[in-house]
Structure 1
Amino acid sequence: MKRRRSLVLLTAGLALTASACNANPSAGSGSAAIRGGTLHILDDSPTMKEDPAKSQNFATSAIHLIVRGLTTWKTDPGKPPTVVADLATDTGEQSDGGRTWTYHLKPGLRYEDGSRITTQDIKYSVERTFAPQLSEGLAYHKTLLVGGQDYKGPLTGQDLPSIQTPDASTIVFHLNKPFGDWPWIASMPAFTGVPKSKEDVVHYQDHPLASGPYKVQSAQQGTKFVLVRNKYWDPKTDPVRTAMPDSIVIDMALNDQVINQRIIADQGIDQSSFSYVNLQAALAPKVLNNPQVKARLAISPSGLLKYLALNTHKAPLDNADVRRAIEYAVDKNAVQVAAGGPVIGGELASTLIEPGIPGYQKFDLYPAPASGDIAKAKALLAQAKFTQTTPLVLLTDNASANLAIAQAIQESLGKAGIKVTLKSEDNDSQVADSTSGKPVYDLALSSWVPDFPSAQGAIQALFGSSEIGNNGRNISQYSNPRVDAAIGAAVGQLDLSRAASQWAALDQQIMADAPIVPLYYAKNTYLRGSQVADFQLPLYPPYPNTLTVGLAGK
C-alpha cells in the first residue's frame, strides 16, 4: 500500500456530534478470520509501487504480503510494535561497537518460482536503492553504510563493498557509525531479495518476485492488483503473516467518498472489502448514527503528531519566552474541535514522541486548561519585552480541516496580543516552503509520524540541526549543540530500552526550548465490510495491518 503523507493531516475534519461520543473507539474489529475467500482492499492510489526499491511502505502494508525482509514488525492491539526476525534467524548480531551487523537466513526459503532466496539477492536489492532511477524509497541506510554517499547503484556495474555475502545464507553490513536501530532499518522493503537476473527498472514494480505468502497474478496500474497464494511460502518460517484469504484484490484509483459509501452500504463484494482511506466528514453522520455501521468503524488508538512549528531563527520567535508564551496561548480545545473532536480527531498532545513509540512518556511542561492560559502567555510576553510591528505568518496547506485549525490558532494567539496572518498553499508548495530552510514563515502547521517504530524518527528528523533546509523536516529550524550531541548518543545506543530512556529525556529537553507546540495525536478512521475479520489498527502505525486481515465464516 502507499505510504500516507507525513506532512499533511490524515484524518478528515469529522464533526463531533452527540452520537460520536458513543462511537466505537476500537482499534480493531471483526470476528476471527478463517482460511479462504477473496479480500478486497479499496484504495485511492493511482499507482502501486511494489518495487521494494521505490517503496516507502510500513511493514504492515500490502507490499509485505508479497516480499519479506530480513526483519519485520510484530503488532498486537494495545501494545507497541516489536521488531522480529523474518527471513533472518534473528534481528541481527552486532559487533565492532554497533558498526557491523550480521544476519543468517533461515533454511529452505524459496521465491514463487521455487528458486532459493540468497543473501546475494538481498545485497543486490539494497544496492538497487542507490540507483538514481530507483531512488524513491526510504533512504536511512544510504547514509549509514560505508561508502553509501558516493555509490550510484549496481546498474553502473559496481557493487557496494560495505555489504558482504561470505556465503549464500550470510550477509554482513558495515556502518560508518554505531546505530542501535539497524534491526528496524532491516525491515524496510529494500531488505528483501531481488535476484540480479530479474532486474527490470521499469516493470519490476508490477511483479516483484514473491517471497511472502502471495504473488502477483495480474497488475493493471490505475485499476487493480490481484494477489494469489505463493505455494513456496512456508508459514513455519513467518512470525507475522497469517495469509487467510485465498486471494487479495487491491482496487485502485477510486474516489475517496465512493470507497466509504460502498463500505457503508455493505453490498456484494464490498462485504469482503475494507477502506484504505479515512472516513470523510460528510459521511460521518451516516456512520456514527447507525449502530450497525459504527460497529464496522475502526479508530486508531493514537497516530501522527499534529503540531505548530515556531521558526526559532526569526524574531520575535528567536526569544524562548515568546515561544513559551505561545505554548500557553494556543487554545488546543478549539484546535481539537476543528479536527473532529477527541473521539475522531485525536487526543490533546504535549509531547514530541507519539504514544505507541518506545520512549513515549506522558508529561506537560506547559500545564494549562485545554482552552489555554492567556494570563500566563501575556506575563511571558511582558517578560520578553514583546513588541510587534507586523503580523506573524502562519503557513498551512489549503485543506479545509487545516485551515480551520489554523484559524483557531490565529484567534487564540490574538487573545494574547499576538497578531497572526494566514498563508495557505497547496500541499506540495507548503511542504517545499516549510522544508527549504528559508525564512518564508514564522509559524507552520504540520504533522509527522516516524517511518519505523523508534523515537529517533520523532526526534532526530524534526529537531536535529542536520535536518534544517534541503528538504529536511526540521521546519522549526531548531539548532541546539547539546541536543545534537544527545541525539548522537541515543542513535548509537545498542540497548534499545536504554535508547528509549534517552529519547524520553530528549523529549523533555527539547520541549523546554519550545520549538513547537504539540497540538494533538491525530487518529485514523477506517471502515470494513461485514465479512472482514481480524481488522486491526495497532498503536503504531495507525493504519490497517494488511498482514493479518481475513474473512469471517458465513
Structure 2
Amino acid sequence: MKQRFSIPALAAAAVLLLAGCTSAGSGSGGDGPSSTPVKGGTVDVLLNADFSHLDPVQGFDGGVNNFYRLIYRTLTTQSTGEGAKGTEMVPDLATDLGTVSDDGLQWTFTLKDDLKFEDGTPITSKDVKFGVERSFDPAIAVGSPYARLTIAGTDSYEGPYITGDLPSIQTPDDQTIVFTLKEPFADFASVVGQNSFTPFPADTERVTTTSLDKMPIASGPYKVDSYERGSQLKLVRNDSWDPKTDDVRKAYPDGFDFTFGLDASTIDERMIAGQGDDANAIAGSVQAASISRIQTPALKARTIAGLQGCTTYMGLNTTKPNMDNPLVRQAIAYAIDRESVKDASGGSQLADIATTMLPPTVAGHTEFDLYPSKDNAGDPEKAKELLAEAGLPDGFSFTLDIRSQPKMQAQAEAVQQALAKAGITVNFNLIDTSTYYEVIGTTSQQNDAAITGWCPDWASGSTFLPPLFDGSQIFPKGNSNIAQLNDPAVNERIAEIRAMTDTDEANAAWGALDEQIQKLVPTVPLLFEKTVMVVGANVAGAYSHAGYSGGIDYVSVGLSSAGK
C-alpha cells in the first residue's frame, strides 16, 4: 500500500503502503468529553517526512493514500471503522459498486449527482476517464499498478498527453463510465478505489504531468491552501464538496496543518508532553525508545495501537550478479538474524517475526519457515555451506538500498551484522525517505537488494503476491516487483488463481503460492510490524485504520473541543 511499496507508511516514520489488517485495539482522545468529534478547529499532524507525491497517480504508500482521501475521491473507497469494517469497499463517487457484464469483461459505474471540483465545476465521467488515463503516462506512472494490470488495450498506451484516447474506457454520458478489462477480475470494484482513479478536469493544458504535484485540484472535503515541500502543508475546507454525496468523510475539522521534517524523537517528545497546540495533534507510531514512557494511565488513555497488516522484507534483485543464483539467495535467507531485526524495530511491542510474505491478516495466509534457525537468530554456518556450493567460499559483497530514517537504518544494520558472520559484506545506499519508493521502483536505479514493505491494497492475496512477483508486471518506473522475478511457473500459477471464481479456493491457492515463491527466495520476509500512536488530549474519533498501514484514519478524526 503499498510499496507501492505496496509498500507499499507510518506517518512519523513515513513507512509502508496500504494495509488490509485487523486493529489490535484503539483509544480516543482521553481528556475529550466524547469519542465523537465536534465540528470545527484544526488538527495538527506531525511528520518526519513529506508525502511522496500530491499527484495521486504517483503516490502509493500507506501514509499518502490515507492523506489523499482528505482532498480526493474515487469511484469507490475503503469504509471507516476499526478492524475488518474499515477494509470494506463502499461507493464513493459512484452510486454503487458497479455492474459487471455476464462475461466479466465490462464494468459500468454511474456517478452520483452534484459532484464538483473545488472551483465548482461538475465532475463528469470524462474527468474520471482522464484521471485514469493520466496514470499511464511514463513520466508519472509510479503509483498504483492496477489500472494497467486490469484494463484492456493498455500494453502500449502512454496516456492522454502522448497517445490520446484510451478506447477501453467509454463515457456514453456525463454520469456513466464503462471499463473493458483484459480478463475477468472479480475485485474490480476495489480497483476503482485506487488512487489512479481520481478524477481531474479533462484538460491537458490545465492538468499537466507536473501541475498536480504542486497544487492539487480537490474533489474531497478539503483543498490545499498552501504547500512548502518538505516543510508544511495546510488544508482548508472545500466549499464545493457536498456532504450529502459522501457517506465516508465526516470532515469534522475546519482544516489540517501538516508539519514535515521533524526529527522522530522530537515528535515523540511533543506528543508525550501534549502541550499547547499539540493537544490537537496526531502523529505516526512512536519510536522504540519511547515505548516504556507511555505506560502511565494518562498516556495509555491517549494511546492507539494496531497492526499494520503489512510485511517488512528484503527484496533481492534476481537480475544482479550473485543475486541471480538461488543458492546465494538461500544463503542470505539462512543467515538473517530476524530476532535482531525485530529488536532493532522496537521489540515485540512493535513487531512480530515474519517467515512468510502473506501477513496473518490476509485470507489464505499459511504458516511456514523454509529457512529456519534456532531462536530465529540466523544460521551462518548453513549459509557458508551454500555459498561454497555456489562458488563463493570467501563470501561476497552487495549494496543494500535503505531509507534515511533511524528505524530503517537500524534494521539494515542488524541485517549487515548477521550477514557478516557468513562472510557477506553489506554496503548501504542511503535514500531520502520521501523519494525512496520511487527510486527502488525504477529498475535502472535499483541496487542488489532493498529493505521495504508491502501492504495489501484491499483485503485479498490478489493484491499482495501478483504485484510483487508477476514477471509480466516488471516496469521501468513504478515497479513493485523489485526482485524482478520472472519465473514461468509462478507467472502461470498467478494467472490460474486470478481466473478462480471460488473465493475460498483462491485464498488457499494464494497461501500455497506464497510457499512456492519463497522456495525461489526472491525476498526474505523479516517482520510484521505494528503501530503504537499517542494522540493529543483534545483529539477525538481517532483509531488505527486497517486499510492504511494501521495509521490514524484522517477522514474520521477531529477534536473534542473546537475552541481549544
* CA distance 1:241–1:361, shift in 2 (3 Å): farther
The equivalent residue for 1:128 is 134
TM-superposed CA distance for 1:122, in Å, is 1.2
The equivalent residue for 1:233 is 242
* CA distance 1:440–1:270, shift in 2 (3 Å): closer
1:41 aligns with one of 29, 42, 45: 45
Give distance in 1, aligned partners of 2:167 and 2:560.
49
CA deviations over 1:411-432 (Å, ceiling 9, x no partner)? 55566xx321121112279986
Give distance in 1, aligned partners of 2:52 and 2:332.
42
TM-superposed CA distance for 1:466, in Å, is 3.5
CA deviations over 1:427-451 (Å, ceiling 9, x no partner)? 279986897489964xx35222146
TM-superposed CA distance for 1:483, in Å, is 1.3
TM-superposed CA distance for 1:503, in Å, is 1.7
* CA distance 1:499–1:363, shift in 2 (3 Å): same
CA deviations over 1:187-230 (Å, ceiling 9, x no partner)? 12332332336934354456544432334455565433232153
The equivalent residue for 1:348 is 353
Aligned runs of 1:268-279 on 2, under 5 Å? 268-275=276-283, 277-279=284-286
The equivalent residue for 1:549 is 557
1:425 aligns with one of 424, 429, 449: 429
Where structure 2 has 5 or more consecutive residues not aligned to the other structure, the ranges are 14-22
Give distance in 2, aligned partners of 1:290 and 1:189.
39
Give distance in 1, aligned partners of 2:446 and 2:256.
48
CA deviations over 1:34-86 (Å, ceiling 9, x no partner)? 22132222334557844444443658522212221101012542327122221
* CA distance 1:411–1:66, shift in 2 (3 Å): closer
The equivalent residue for 1:74 is 79
Q: Which amino acid aligns with 2:129?
A: K
**Larger Rg computed on CA atoms:** 1
Give distance in 2, aligned partners of 1:82 and 1:188.
13
Taking structure 2 as the reference length, the TM-score comes to: 0.80
Q: Which amino acid aligns with 2:242?
A: W
Q: Which amino acid aligns with 1:423?
A: N
Q: Is 1:389 matched with 2:393?
A: yes
**Maintained 8 Å contact 1:307/1:517:** yes
Q: Which amino acid aligns with 1:449?
A: W
TM-superposed CA distance for 1:32, in Å, is 1.4
Aligned runs of 1:13-412 on 2, under 5 Å? 26-30=25-29, 32-38=35-41, 39-46=43-50, 49-56=53-60, 61-79=66-84, 81-95=87-101, 97-112=103-118, 114-131=120-137, 135-142=141-148, 144-155=150-161, 158-196=164-202, 199-201=206-208, 203-205=211-213, 208-217=216-225, 222-228=231-237, 230=239, 232-235=241-244, 237-275=245-283, 277-281=284-288, 283=290, 287-288=293-294, 290-310=296-316, 327-344=333-350, 346-366=351-371, 368-372=373-377, 374=379, 378=382, 381=385, 385=389, 388-397=392-401, 399=404, 401-402=407-408, 404-409=410-415, 412=418
* CA distance 1:408–1:8, shift in 2 (3 Å): farther
TM-superposed CA distance for 1:309, in Å, is 4.0
Give distance in 1, aligned partners of 2:316 and 2:54.
37
* CA distance 1:528–1:437, shift in 2 (3 Å): same
The equivalent residue for 2:17 is none
**Maintained 8 Å contact 1:468/1:474:** yes
Q: Is 1:461 matched with 2:467?
A: yes
For the aligned residue pairs, the C-alpha RMSD in angstroms reads 4.1
Give distance in 1, aligned partners of 2:45 and 2:134.
29
* CA distance 1:403–1:9, shift in 2 (3 Å): farther
Find the residue that maps to 1:263 and give its secondary structure.
helix
CA deviations over 1:1-28 (Å, ceiling 9, x no partner)? 9999667996999xxxxxxxxxx97455
Aligned runs of 1:501-520 on 2, under 5 Å? 501-520=508-527
Taking structure 1 as the reference length, the TM-score comes to: 0.81
**Maintained 8 Å contact 2:384/2:423:** no
**Maintained 8 Å contact 2:74/2:195:** yes
TM-superposed CA distance for 1:484, in Å, is 0.8
* CA distance 1:27–1:511, shift in 2 (3 Å): farther
More deviation, 486-495/197-206: 197-206
Q: How many residues align?
A: 535
Give distance in 1, aligned partners of 2:446 and 2:72.
43
* CA distance 1:170–1:423, shift in 2 (3 Å): same
Give distance in 1, aligned partners of 2:474 and 2:163.
34
* CA distance 1:84–1:411, shift in 2 (3 Å): same
Find the residue that maps to 1:98 and give its secondary structure.
coil
**Maintained 8 Å contact 2:318/2:484:** yes
**Maintained 8 Å contact 1:350/1:519:** yes
Find the residue that maps to 2:359 and give its secondary structure.
coil
* CA distance 1:421–1:544, shift in 2 (3 Å): same
**Maintained 8 Å contact 2:76/2:192:** yes
* CA distance 1:184–1:531, shift in 2 (3 Å): same
Q: Is 1:532 matched with 2:539?
A: yes
Find the residue that maps to 1:56 and give its secondary structure.
coil
Aligned runs of 1:442-481 on 2, under 5 Å? 444-450=449-455, 452-453=457-458, 454-466=460-472, 470=476, 472-481=479-488
Q: Which amino acid aligns with 1:69?
A: T
Give distance in 2, aligned partners of 1:269 and 1:299.
23
Give distance in 2, aligned partners of 1:412 and 1:193.
48
